[in-house]
Amino acid sequence: MVALKHDGNARAGDTVDSVGESTLSVGSSVKIHGLQSQRGKSFNGKSGTITTELDGETGRHSVRLKGGRVLAVKPANLTLTAAQPAADVKIHCGACERALPTDSYSREQGRLRQSMRRCKDCVASGNQLVLMMKGRARSEEDECPICNLPLPMDENELSLKVCCMKRVCNGCILAARKRGMRDCPFCRTAVPDEASKALAMVQKRVDAGDPVAIYALGDACHWGVHGVARNVTRAVELYERAAELGFKRAHYSLGCLYEEGIDVQKDTVKAIRHFEAAAMCGHVSARFNLGCGERNAKNLSAALQHWIIAAKLGDQHSLSEVKEMFKYGLATKGDYAESLCGYRSAIEEMSSPDRDEANALGHEAIREM
Ligand SMILES: [Zn+2]
Ligand SMILES: [Zn+2]
Ligand SMILES: [Zn+2]
């Protein structure tokens, strides 16, 4: 889990002949120029439309290129190509998902990115953002396929079986071991005794297009484990393939990579987009990170909404944040009570006598049984 930070620093070479900021606004047609970074250079000369007002934090506008790609660009790197905002420009509302003319939004809403933006109708009717409506429950892929309980949040309390690509909770693994079963408790395949055999099993499923396997191989490349050489470029490719297949953990990993900016070029806009995709599928840590991002951008009400959702899915970090906000009068007693109550029942749902026993023994001890 990472806490989001916003990068508001100017980069060397970013400043070229500046146009007056006041001439650039939502709907303006612009051309990009003067970007210096390796990645940025490929966008010089491209045309697009401004979709958000200047972000006070990052000093950038969002620009949608022809073809749909969205970039965050400083005014200094934009040239106005049409004197007036084109009248037919439409931007999407994050609640009703309609594409509406820019004057359907208040100035304040027009500044926000699509997922957080609501049209005047939606503000008036209290229509909630899709981002806050989706992903309020964990999905079936987050259940142990044997006991059917939601999987523990801690990766050390479960195992990924390379034979069937199922994640099985330690409680069920312990129960199987006690009955003398050493093969996969789900599909009964013998557990591979060498890393190379396990890798071959994963590769076979990658070739068949299984997103879980594609993600698992990406993860092995990312960290250089399970007999795979560390190769972040390949990891990103594999994560992207899995993400395109709608695999939420791949979106989350991509979000972390772009947010940290250590192994790939830092890209906060991309990171948020991936965290949003994951959170809308019920990814708990992605939801927590979105809360941190909104807190850092001083959107406390949005931060609180994200954290309440995550706390109710069983995320302890989010519960602590809600508690903290309540302490400082930024959340109501009702917000905190709702979060605490939801958190407790999520934890309750994830518990079983087998799991308690497995936790007391520990991951390593069960493996060696
Ligand atoms: Zn709307
Ligand atoms: Zn289980
Ligand atoms: Zn299996």
pLDDT in tens, 177-211: 999 999 999 999 998 888 899 999 999 999 999 99
Mean pLDDT of 243-266: 96
Residue 51 and residue 62 in contact, taking contact as beta carbons nearer than 8 Å: yes
Superfamily of domain 192-367: Tetratricopeptide repeat domain (1.25.40.10)
Please give the Cα distance from 369 to 361 (Å, whole number).
10
Please give the Cα distance from 40 to 48 (Å, whole number).
15
Mean pLDDT of 57-84: 80
pLDDT of residue 66: 77
What is the whole-number distance in angstroms between the Cα of residue 343 and the centre of ligand 2?
Answer: 20
Indicate whether 21 pLDDT > 70: no
What is the whole-number distance in angstroms between the Cα of residue 347 and the centre of ligand 2?
Answer: 15
Please give the Cα distance from 16 to 33 (Å, whole number).
8
The confidence band for 6, taking pLDDT boundaries of 50, 70 and 90, is very low
Q: Which residues surround ligand 3, an ion (CB under 5 A)?
A: 161, 163-164, 184, 186-187, 189
The confidence band for 37, taking pLDDT boundaries of 50, 70 and 90, is confident
- From the list 29, 35, 39, 31, the residue with the least C-alpha distance to 15 is 35
Residue 162 and residue 192 in contact, taking contact as beta carbons nearer than 8 Å: yes
Provide the token pair at 296: 């850092």
What is the whole-number distance in angstroms between the Cα of residue 114 and the centre of ligand 1?
Answer: 11
Mean pLDDT of 247-261: 97
Please give the Cα distance from 49 to 29 (Å, whole number).
5
The confidence band for 246, taking pLDDT boundaries of 50, 70 and 90, is very high
Mean pLDDT of 34-41: 83
The confidence band for 12, taking pLDDT boundaries of 50, 70 and 90, is very low
Provide the token pair at 200: 């071959």
Q: What is the ipTM of this complex?
A: 0.92
pLDDT of residue 92: 94
Question: What is the number of the ligand closest to the CA of 173?
Answer: 2
What is the whole-number distance in angstroms between the Cα of residue 146 and the centre of ligand 2?
Answer: 5
What is the whole-number distance in angstroms between the Cα of residue 91 and the centre of ligand 2?
Answer: 45
Provide the token pair at 262: 């250590």
Average per-residue pLDDT in the chain?
A: 89
Percentage of the chain with pLDDT > 90?
A: 68
The confidence band for 87, taking pLDDT boundaries of 50, 70 and 90, is low
What is the whole-number distance in angstroms between the Cα of residue 146 and the centre of ligand 3?
Answer: 11
The answer to whether domain 14-86 and domain 192-367 are alike in fold is no
Mean pLDDT of 86-110: 89
What is the whole-number distance in angstroms between the Cα of residue 191 and the centre of ligand 3?
Answer: 8
Q: Which residues surround ligand 1, an ion (CB under 5 A)?
A: 93, 95-96, 119, 122
Indicate whether 19 pLDDT > 90: no
Provide the token pair at 301: 């009400």
pLDDT of residue 20: 40
What is the whole-number distance in angstroms between the Cα of residue 166 and the centre of ligand 3?
Answer: 7
Residue 16 and residue 41 in contact, taking contact as beta carbons nearer than 8 Å: no
Mean pLDDT of 73-91: 77
CATH fold of 14-86, please? SH3 type barrels. (2.30.30)
Top-confidence range, 8-17, 36-45, 254-263: 254-263
Mean pLDDT of 93-108: 94
What is the whole-number distance in angstroms between the Cα of residue 164 and the centre of ligand 3?
Answer: 4
Q: Which residues surround ligand 2, an ion (CB under 5 A)?
A: 144, 146-147, 169, 172
What is the whole-number distance in angstroms between the Cα of residue 248 and the centre of ligand 1?
Answer: 26
Provide the residue ranges of all domains of the chain, joining segments of one domain with +: 14-86, 87-133, 192-367
pLDDT of residue 84: 54
What is the whole-number distance in angstroms between the Cα of residue 368 and the centre of ligand 2?
Answer: 19
Residue 172 and residue 185 in contact, taking contact as beta carbons nearer than 8 Å: yes
pLDDT of residue 10: 35
Residue 260 and residue 266 in contact, taking contact as beta carbons nearer than 8 Å: yes
Q: 3-class DSSP state for residue 120?
A: helix
What is the whole-number distance in angstroms between the Cα of residue 166 and the centre of ligand 2?
Answer: 11
What is the whole-number distance in angstroms between the Cα of residue 275 and the centre of ligand 2?
Answer: 27
pLDDT in tens, 290-300: 999 999 999 99
What is the whole-number distance in angstroms between the Cα of residue 176 and the centre of ligand 2?
Answer: 10
Please give the Cα distance from 118 to 83 (Å, whole number).
27
pLDDT of residue 222: 95
